[in-house]
Structure 1
Amino acid sequence: MPVHRRSLLLARALVLTAAAATALGVTTGGSAQAAPGTPDTPTHKDVKAQVEQLYDEAEQASEKYNAAQDAQQRLQGETAILQGEVAAAQDQLNQLRGDLATVAGAEYRGGGMAQTVQLMLSTDPEGYLNRARTLGQAAERQQETLHELVTRQRRLDQRRTEASGKLADLEQARRSLADSRQQIQQRLAMAQRLLSSLGAAERTRLAVQDARDAEWRATRGTDRLDLGSAPPASERGAAALAAAVRTIGSPYVYGSTGPRAFDCSGLMYYSWRQAGVTLPRTSQAQAYAGQRVSLSEARPGDLVIFYRDMHHVGMYAGGGVIVHAPYPGAKVRYESVNAMPVAGVVRL
């Protein structure tokens, strides 16, 4: 693992705060610390490796959580529509059946005599034939009604099948949501227990150092931020970037899309909504929301997707710098695009 990757992940994990954990229902009670020098005392290297892994797993679970939440909301709407269509179709079917029953009852009460026999016995054959033509037209309408009844029954059965499938998908989305939430809680709780072995003072010191390191990477070690002179790819890109920049200083909270707290993909979702564009909810889906361009062609407002599994995203601000929501305990900030491995750049 590259040095910059390992140090960044460690610093991220070191500032997992109780407030961030509380947002997901995590308890952060301290664990007993082993006496220095005993065999049970974890080394910094051990803590670093384990916490990096836990943080990665938590962030991956977070994007799965976002996807499951998005699917649940979509399926709830689709299921409600289908159930409404089923109810309406059943009402129409009941009405058609009632109409057919009325006609059948009238025929039965009329004796159901064959038309030829009725013609032979009629004292007014011409009048009967006129009535017979009318009855024939009525029979034809009855056949049409019967055909419509069968067609509507088939449609109703199809809608019921679709509704049952949606309900099954909705239940699966709910289970996935609960599973992802549990994974996040477990990873954060385990990380908290590991980090408690480093001591509060050291965690605070490393958190402060992490913020300084991010600023140093974004400014390339100078005292000013240079975002270059490349213009945004579009007016909407400029509006989205402006919205993202306005959120700098906002806290990171898993599953949040603003306006006061964000996770990584939630920040992109919120910023582009301010520009009139609705993005998919997760970083993986956002990776396919527009045209792929190379990093060398990146313009302000473009999305930058990070890591092979695309579980992190930021917005290109220019000059090799992004705006992103980094991790729990840290705030929305500028960061060097090279601080994490880039998987792709997306232009909307």
Structure 2
Amino acid sequence: MASHRKSRPTGTRVAGIRTPALATAALTSVALLSQSANAAPAAPSTDGNPSLEEVEKKVDELYRQAESATEKYNAAKEKTANQRKRVDTLLDDVAERTQSLNEAREELGSFAAAQYRTGSAVPGTATFLLADSPQDYFDQDQLMGRLTGRQKAAVDDYVTQQSETMEKRREATESLETLTDTQNDLKTAKATVQKKLGTARELLSKLTAEERARLAAIEKKKQEEAARKAAELARQQAEERERQEQAAQQQEDGSSGAGSGGTGPGTGTGSSTSPSAPDASYGTKAEKALAFARAQIGKPYVWGATGPGSYDCSGLTQAAWKAAGVTLPRTTYDQVDAGTTVPLSQAQAGDLVFFYDDVTHVGIYIGNGMMIHAPKPGTYVREESVYYDGESSIHSVVRPA
């Protein structure tokens, strides 16, 4: 799925990063140096070279496209693995059926040979072993009339086995062709990612120290704005929880005043009565998922990786929720449908936050407008504001369990 979003200047998105200072400086440069091979060129500056802002936009577009290609790679890799299993199963089945078919063929051959020796059939009986269709041969009245019931049953069984074996061979052939196509898709996606990241490295080598410092200053300003928005979201969520708790308390007081009785202390749990609030079991699972995600902070982003030493964005979320006993699909495209969509204002710790129109990035919400995610190549798993790439980049929030 090709990205169809407009380019957004994002810089390196290092707010909340827990990585060495040198790595952070390098990441700041890398995040600003990508360019799509087919992206429309930006207007050059007066000296004929792209301005810092123009480079930043080109870099952002490249990383978005690389991220999209990574998810395509993940999907093709998973599909390849599943198809390979199917092909292996079919080939094993065909081998077993072929062995059984050969044994049945030998038995029928012995029938024909015995009839030839006793003179009960014409010498042409020997051609059975070379016939394309044993049924056509045995359908001849002069031979079928002389077969015993057991021999006729053997003929019928052989014909059935032959038909089933041919069908399985056809399925195996088609599956092999599909596997080849998927492997080609896998190679294409891999080449696309590598090409775009190679372009980023090439652009990185052209930045001067002064330009890197200027870009770092631009990025710092963006981080501050992202942090401000995260704090505002945290305030809104706190107000929402308070309203829910007050509504739950009023409902409990009303029930008690009506003489409902039987409602002992602690029966009203506040947010648990809200349709947007997760139940206790979700909270327990979310805690396990978040504990796992926090333990991965500082590990490098590697496209296509699912751990334990490195991750891409969907590989991290899949592994985190697997640690909580919940199985998520491999790609962002599928993970976004693996749960209940909730408003960002009602996001709970453990929810998945998806980004961009083509749903090519995902992080795990930890509360207070923050998340843990594996941002992009050249970076590390880190905590960061959900507004790290601007408010418009947020696609949806999904509660996976």
Length-normalised TM-score, structure 1: 0.75
In the TM superposition, 1:2-151 aligns within 5 A as 6-9=8-11, 14-16=28-30, 39-112=47-120, 139-151=148-160
The structure-2 alpha-carbon separation of the partners of 1:7 and 1:150, relative to structure 1 and needing over 3 Å to count, comes to same
SS in structure 2 at match of 1:8? coil
Deviation at 1:87, TM superposition (A): 0.7
Are the counterparts in 2 of residues 284 and 311 from structure 1 also a CA contact under 8 Å?
A: yes
Mapped partners of 2:337, 2:226: distance in 1: 28
Correspondence for 1:203: 212
Deviation at 1:200, TM superposition (A): 4.0
Which deviates more, 155-164 or 81-90?
155-164
Task: Give structure 1 stretches of 5+ with no counterpart.
Answer: 22-36, 114-135
SS in structure 2 at match of 1:322? strand
Deviation at 1:108, TM superposition (A): 3.1
Letter aligned with residue 295 of structure 1? L
Correspondence for 2:333: 284
Superposed CA deviations along residues 49-76 of structure 1, whole A, max 9, x for unmatched, are 2212211111111111111111222222
Superposed CA deviations along residues 246-268 of structure 1, whole A, max 9, x for unmatched, are 11122211111111211111111
The structure-2 alpha-carbon separation of the partners of 1:46 and 1:212, relative to structure 1 and needing over 3 Å to count, comes to closer
Letter aligned with residue 317 of structure 2? M
Mapped partners of 1:265, 1:337: distance in 2: 16
Deviation at 1:9, TM superposition (A): 4.8
Letter aligned with residue 397 of structure 2? V
Mapped partners of 2:394, 2:300: distance in 1: 23
In the TM superposition, 1:205-220 aligns within 5 A as 206=215, 210=219, 214=223, 217-218=226-227
Correspondence for 1:118: none
Correspondence for 2:258: none
Correspondence for 2:163: 154
Are the counterparts in 2 of residues 67 and 281 from structure 1 also a CA contact under 8 Å?
A: yes
Mapped partners of 2:222, 2:295: distance in 1: 22
Superposed CA deviations along residues 102-125 of structure 1, whole A, max 9, x for unmatched, are 223223333328xxxxxxxxxxxx
The structure-2 alpha-carbon separation of the partners of 1:156 and 1:15, relative to structure 1 and needing over 3 Å to count, comes to farther
The structure-2 alpha-carbon separation of the partners of 1:292 and 1:147, relative to structure 1 and needing over 3 Å to count, comes to farther
Mapped partners of 1:150, 1:179: distance in 2: 44
Letter aligned with residue 30 of structure 2? L
Correspondence for 1:246: 295
Mapped partners of 1:212, 1:74: distance in 2: 46
Deviation at 1:326, TM superposition (A): 0.9
Mapped partners of 2:318, 2:325: distance in 1: 11
Mapped partners of 2:69, 2:91: distance in 1: 32
The structure-2 alpha-carbon separation of the partners of 1:220 and 1:244, relative to structure 1 and needing over 3 Å to count, comes to same
Are the counterparts in 2 of residues 304 and 342 from structure 1 also a CA contact under 8 Å?
A: yes
Which of 311, 321, 324 lines up with 1:275 in the alignment?
324
The structure-2 alpha-carbon separation of the partners of 1:216 and 1:52, relative to structure 1 and needing over 3 Å to count, comes to closer
Are the counterparts in 1 of residues 86 and 175 from structure 2 also a CA contact under 8 Å?
A: yes
Are the counterparts in 1 of residues 12 and 219 from structure 2 also a CA contact under 8 Å?
A: no
Letter aligned with residue 314 of structure 2? S
Letter aligned with residue 196 of structure 2? R
SS in structure 1 at match of 2:205? helix
SS in structure 1 at match of 2:358? coil
Are the counterparts in 1 of residues 59 and 200 from structure 2 also a CA contact under 8 Å?
A: yes
Superposed CA deviations along residues 191-218 of structure 1, whole A, max 9, x for unmatched, are 2333333324543674587479558735
Which of 183, 195, 199 lines up with 2:192 in the alignment?
183
Task: Give structure 2 stretches of 5+ with no counterpart.
Answer: 1-6, 15-26, 35-44, 122-144, 242-270, 272-276
The structure-2 alpha-carbon separation of the partners of 1:157 and 1:247, relative to structure 1 and needing over 3 Å to count, comes to same
Are the counterparts in 2 of residues 253 and 328 from structure 1 also a CA contact under 8 Å?
A: yes
Are the counterparts in 2 of residues 79 and 167 from structure 1 also a CA contact under 8 Å?
A: yes
The structure-2 alpha-carbon separation of the partners of 1:347 and 1:9, relative to structure 1 and needing over 3 Å to count, comes to same
Correspondence for 1:347: 399
The answer to whether the aligner puts 1:322 opposite 2:371 as a matched pair is: yes
Deviation at 1:88, TM superposition (A): 0.7
Superposed CA deviations along residues 282-331 of structure 1, whole A, max 9, x for unmatched, are 11121122333333343222222211111001112123322111122222
SS in structure 2 at match of 1:338? coil
The structure-2 alpha-carbon separation of the partners of 1:154 and 1:293, relative to structure 1 and needing over 3 Å to count, comes to farther
Deviation at 1:91, TM superposition (A): 0.4
Deviation at 1:11, TM superposition (A): 5.4
The structure-2 alpha-carbon separation of the partners of 1:177 and 1:208, relative to structure 1 and needing over 3 Å to count, comes to farther
CA RMSD of aligned residues (A): 3.3
